[in-house]
Chains A and B, each alone.
Chain A
Amino acid sequence: MGSKEKSILDGSSIERAITRITHEILEKNKGCDNLVLIGIRSGGDHLAALIRQRIKEIEGGEVPHGAVDVTMYRDDVGHGSVRPMGKTDIPFALDNRHVILVDEVIYTGRTIRAAMDALMDIGRPSSIQLAVLVDRGHRELPIRADYVGRNVPSARDEKIQVLFDEAHLPLEVRLIKP
Chain B
Amino acid sequence: MAFSHRHIIGTQQLSKADIELILETAESFKEVNQRDIKKVPTLRGKTIINLFYENSTRTRTSFELAGKRMSADTINISASGSSVTKGETLEDTAKNIEAMNADVIVMRHSCSGAPDYLAQRLTKSSVINAGDGFHEHPSQALLDLLTIKEHKGKIEGLTVAIIGDIARSRVARSDLYALKTMGATVRLAGPATMLPPGIEELGAEVYTDINEAIKDADVVIMLRIQLEREGGNTLIPTLREYAQFFALNTENIKLAKPDAIVMHPGPLNRGVEISSYVADGVQNVILDQVENGVAVRMALLYLLAGGSDEE
Contacts and interface: CB of A to CB of B under 8 A. Distances in A.
Interface of A: 69, 71-73, 77-89, 117-118, 121-122
Contacts of A77: 42-44, 306
Given A72-B32, A121-B35, A82 B40 contact: no
B306 A78 contact: yes
A87 B43 CA distance: 17
Nearest to B26: A85
Interface string B289-308: 00000000001001101111
B43 A82 contact: no
Given A88-B28, A89-B31, A82 B41 contact: no
Contacts of A79: 308, 310
- In terms of DSSP, what is the predominant structure of the interface of chain A? loop
Contacts of B1: 81-84
B46 interface: yes
A85 B302 contact: yes
The number of chain B residues touching the other chain, given as a range, is 20 to 34
B205 interface: no
Contacts of B39: 121
Given A73-B40, A77-B42, A121-B39, A85 B307 contact: no
A34 B78 CA distance: 51
B25 interface: yes
A121 B28 contact: no
B90 interface: no
A37 B25 CA distance: 24
Interface in B18-48: 21, 24-25, 27-29, 31-32, 35, 37, 39-46
Given A85-B299, A85-B302, 17 more contacts: A72-B41, A72-B42, A73-B41, A73-B42, A80-B307, A81-B1, A81-B308, A82-B1, A82-B306, A84-B1, A84-B21, A84-B24, A88-B28, A117-B41, A121-B35, A121-B39, A122-B35
